[in-house]
Structure 1
């Protein structure tokens, strides 16, 4: 049987000042305007899978973030606190630059697969993540952070429930109605949880924003 009510609380520190990146390109990307979560138009399509029981558990749902703001995708504005001052270039290609960093700041959010839930609620946390951020150019040639990947450095939790692995991946892009402002377009979560020393679950969640204007008309 899968883990029952296993919940992991991981979040960013309060009171951190603005990030002073060491690179002008990254500074410019982080300075882009962000669409406020309440102004995001569309629904979030979520697919989840839990392994660990006799058979995989799969679920799909469509979320209205205005009615369930807890389940909304994170704001682009949060990246200023997520990508730390130690960010440095580790790769470059045509129109793309990749940075590596470490952080204790995780974008707020919530995801659930079966009875395994992951909640980033903004409270202080001592866990450290290894991160990468990819900066791309929009149609006007201006830089923005298009992807952020975070991986928990070390297992977290206690003897009741221990997180053995937590990978978080975020995608961002220009708003279709306001191309000068950025918003989250997707989030992936992969987590391994061991509960009571002998129950193990592996959960994956895939969430994608489906803009209202992209929905078929009837």
Structure 2
């Protein structure tokens, strides 16, 4: 039996003879075990550089698509995480960078990935009123009713921030505005708590709309 052109029988005999593995042995890919470790280390370095770049750009500035593309094509992981579990998608969702979001997803980024607080990229988009990013994420399979560690959905976050436009988009994509968080509040109650009374009134009306029963 062969795997990548390496004879497994040969490997088995090496183990039986109690010989140390030859770290300079090259398979069909032409890469030694030492090379592989070095390659992995280089990828981790690229991951960190990508995260650092994305976090360094101010909200008022535009992210450089070509720069992000180069990091990914050079081997950076589109699902790389910082110490809080935030990924490139979390960061680009905040900045409403739809071109980069689309590229990251096509490159394998998980649209439903969560950080260590169970915050998804959609929560970030809802928080920062990034409506175009929000819609793009939803179209790529993001859960509109995902909950963070406090039980807040993206609708709760939008209500908390008074982002009516974001709420309109979420409702259009069947977000459950009757869902409650760990404090027993739905988005309407959350909007009222944060004194966004116009948003609370809008949500109250929508909750009474029978066409939203799905």
Which category describes the TM-score, using the shorter chain as reference length? under 0.3
Q: Which has the higher strand share?
A: 1
TM-score, length-scaled by structure 1: 0.20
Larger RCO, structure (CA 8 Å, separation 6 or more): 1
TM-score, length-scaled by structure 2: 0.20
Q: Which has the higher helix share?
A: 2
Larger Rg: 2
